[in-house]
Amino acid sequence: MTRLFGTNGIRWRPDKKQDHNFSVELGLAIGTYFGKGNTVCMGRDTRITGPVISAAVASGIMSAGCDIIDIGVVPTPTVQFGVKMLDVAGGVMITASHNPPEFNGLKCIDNDGTEMARDNEEKIEDVYFSKNFQYAGWDEVGKFKVNDEVSFAHMDRISSLIVPNSGWKKLKVVIDCSNGPAGKFTPNILRDMGCEVHTINAQPDGMFPGRLPEPLEKNLSGLMDTVANLGADLGIAHDGDADRATFVDEKGNYINGDESLALFAIDSLDAEKGKVVVPVNTSRKVTDSIIDNGGEVELTPIGSPIIARRMKGIGARVGGEGNGGVIFPENMLCRDGIMTAAKMVEILATGDRKLSEMVSDLPDYTIIRSKFKCNEKLKHQVLDNVKKAMTDFEVIDIDGVKIEGDDWWVLLRPSGTEPIFRVTAEAANPQMAQDKLDEFKVLLKKIIQDLA
Ligand code: MG
């Protein structure tokens, strides 16, 4: 069946031809799924198409008989917080997260505040594709209410979880808010935590004039320079909807998301031993750190909704992905870039080491990623044959096929949207990582040739 939802919601490039009807019908499908008489919490990021898409989706949801509580321009985790706080049936966030300004998108939230489970998304897709919409009568259409308390309550929640004391060091912090909704949140919270706060790209602006919204090293030269020039202790960068945060150390060096995730895992295990939930493509910088610090690695397929759900009920200490998306269960079972920023401040303000020192103590591994073409019809057979060929190694097949060596691993994962395998190799040094990548590409080529 054709899908609407990808790993993290729906993304599209709105244009004159199709957007309005698509958004209204999407709203009708979502409203039909939640059901007449229920309430949906709704927010949007700063994109300039946000108001028009939000209004159209809300129109569809209300036409199906659901009320809307609109909480305005907010980070995605604020909608997730709002669903629980308001005790409503679910949520909708209009965002394209880290995508460029011309894109927009939509994420649905389940009533427990987690990103919607795949089987519920399928129910919405069923309604959408069958056009089997439930229309409310004129006297049953949903109401539209505005609420500005959820934002403050979300900030209060984080402030209540991370409380500075007189022993905290006063940190100088630079926050790059990506011209997204984080500008109203992270600077205020960190200032209340006693930091000297400097901001860049803090004004909400859906054109993203400061930088592209993905918090990758190549987009963060402004932040790295500012941290170094100001002699700051820490730089923080959010993505477009602030469910993620990545960091820059006191020298102005970019810290990748695997490294910060490893630091969060170590910090949480210092407080109490337990499980840390990470996807199968996570660096050994993270998984070795978990084991070295007395924790247990819980591996999942790729996708933050899956990680969040796995954390439920197993007493996980923390969970997350190597892209800066971290889930702290004491906060909520969702990625929260503001909580992630506040937590890093806590680690640095209460410890005696600088960020660069902590990162340089992490296990040394190099990760490289590549692609390999493969006919759609052959993908499953190819993976089966790779598994059969790997008699001497541990194979993990929860999402694609991962082959574990002593000081290396390789993950072969079929793309859901393109006729390719994504090939990831990590090893104890760059040469070995490249060799392993090449070796498995040769193997893939041979297996594909034999099948053709
Ligand atoms: Mg995001």
3-state SS, one letter per residue, for 298-323? EEECCCHHHHHHHHCCCCCCEEECCC
* Contact call for residues 374 and 421 (beta carbons, < 8 A): yes
CATH architecture, domain defined by 171-360: 3-Layer(aba) Sandwich (3.40)
In order along its 452 residues, the chain shows pLDDT tens digits of 578 998 789 999 988 666 679 999 999 999 999 999 999 999 999 999 999 999 999 999 999 999 999 999 999 999 999 999 999 999 999 999 999 999 999 999 999 999 999 999 999 999 999 999 999 999 999 999 999 999 999 999 999 999 999 999 999 999 999 999 999 999 999 999 999 999 999 999 999 999 999 999 999 999 999 999 999 999 999 999 999 999 999 999 999 999 999 999 999 999 999 999 999 999 999 999 999 999 999 999 999 999 999 999 898 999 999 999 999 999 999 999 999 999 999 999 999 999 999 999 999 999 999 998 888 888 889 999 999 999 889 999 999 999 999 999 999 999 877 889 999 999 999 999 999 999 999 999 999 999 88
Q: 98 C-alpha to center of ligand 1: Å?
A: 6
240 CA from centroid of ligand 1 (Å): 6
* C-alpha 8 to ligand 1 mean position (Å): 9
pLDDT at 416: 75
Distance 115 CA to ligand 1 centre (A): 12
Query: How many A from CA of 437 to the centre of ligand 1?
Result: 29
Give the residue numbers marked as catalytic: 97
- Confidence (pTM): 0.95
The CATH number given to 10-151 is 3.40.120.10
Q: How far is the CA of 331 from the centre of ligand 1 (A)?
A: 17
- pLDDT at position 1: 58
Distances, alpha carbon 364 to alpha carbons 61, 138, 367, 408, 426, in Å: 50, 64, 10, 11, 10
Q: Measure the CA–CA gap between 247 and 402, rounded to whole angstroms.
A: 29
Strand partners, 238: 245
Q: What is the pLDDT of residue 315?
A: 85
Ligand 1 centroid to Cα of residue 271, in Å, is: 28
Q: Which of 219, 224, 232 shows the shortest CA–CA distance to 180?
A: 219
> CATH topology of 171-360 equal to that of 366-451?
no
CA–CA dist 30, 124 (Å, integer): 6
CA of 97 to the centre of ligand 1 (A): 4
CA–CA separation, 269 vs 451, rounded Å?
A: 47
Nearest to 287 by CA among 381, 413, 411: 411
β-strand partners of 410: 403, 425
Q: In angstroms, what is the span from residue 395 Cα to ligand 1's centroid?
A: 31
Measured distance CA(236)–CA(200) in Å, rounded:
10
Yes or no: say if 60 and 323 are a contact pair by the CB < 8 Å rule: no
> In which residue are the tokens 């926050």 written?
175
CA of 436 to the centre of ligand 1 (A): 31
Scored b (16 or more CB within 10 A) or e, 386-398 reads beeebeeeeeeee
Distance 75 CA to ligand 1 centre (A): 9
Domain at 366-451, CATH class:
alpha beta
Q: Tell me what pLDDT residue 402 has.
A: 97
* pLDDT of the residue at 377: 87
- Domain ranges for the chain: 10-151, 171-360, 366-451
Cα radius of gyration rounded to whole Å, the chain:
22
pLDDT of residue 225: 98
Closest CA to 151 of 80, 220, 78, 96: 78
Q: How many whole angstroms from 77 Cα to the centroid of ligand 1?
A: 9
What distance in angstroms lies between residue 242's CA and the mean position of ligand 1's atoms? Answer: 6
pLDDT of residue 17: 62
Rounded alpha-carbon distances, angstroms, from residue 236 to 172, 252, 338: 11, 11, 10
CA distance 23 to 63: 13
- CB contact at 8 A, 31 and 40: yes
Distance 246 CA to ligand 1 centre (A): 12
